[in-house]
Structure 1
Amino acid sequence: MKHVLVVLMLLPLFSFAQKIDQNYFIGKWVAEAKGEGKIEVGFITFTEDGFAFMELDGQILGGKEFITLKEEKASLTYEVNTDAEPIKIDFILTVLSTQEQRSLSCIAKPIDDNTMWFTVNSEEIEITDFTDKNSIVLIKV
């Protein structure tokens, strides 16, 4: 009887993990820093048509066409690999005049339907697990 209860308790966890696809990410996510009190640090928006927007300190960057900090017209798209563990998200900045591309590699781990761990990987160190020190929590709004 105990085994049946354990299986019933774990079943929702397995069914949630199987439902993760690219559609999970679509929408606006608020970034909160962990630690003493939750601090809102910005927003990330993933659109259905593959564009991404980032908002930091009231400044919005991204989308189909925007002006970069270097005064270049650019677009910001994203690609999600839900087959990877942890899930890989690449943000791709394309300079529209030259089609030059730069990418930013990130990883994500869903916590529930509206919350996920999120961190940026660097070229020097590839992060594979999530901690309060190397990650932020994104909450869908």
Structure 2
Amino acid sequence: MVSMMEKLLENKAAPTTPPAIPLPAPDPYGDLVGDLPTFCYDDDDTTFKDWFRRYGPVINDRGSSLPDERNLLLDKLERHAYKTYSDYVLPQEPRHIDLAATVDKLTKLFGPKQTLIRRRFEFLQITCEPLTTSHVPYRDFSNKIKKKLRMLQ
């Protein structure tokens, strides 16, 4: 009995290390796919140019280690937008077009829904709200003008 107690104490005193669990390898593609929102052209006033202006630097910076950033960009198109783009580039396959050409074609294809003439006309029709004692509308008016100017460019 004493020998069994000694063995138990020896086993208890001996440091035991748990087996090392290997950490999963970092997956930059999966991280980016999860972090970036999907581009949906049906949303109001959403153009590919605006979406890429916001998320393009993220794709270029964090996706620089990827073998092909174009695939990430195509994965972030919603189903209808991808079908429209793939039909637009026929007879080529979307995977055979480089990133710069893909961005250029998507910008042209998913631009503003109104014509340039219509957007200019609406820009010229903008008026400032009247000044009241409780509301000074100049900041809102200037922000509206800046937004419309960005859309015209």
Q: TM-score range by the shorter chain?
A: under 0.3
Q: TM-score normalized by structure 2?
A: 0.17
User: In proportion to residue count, which structure has more strand?
Assistant: 1
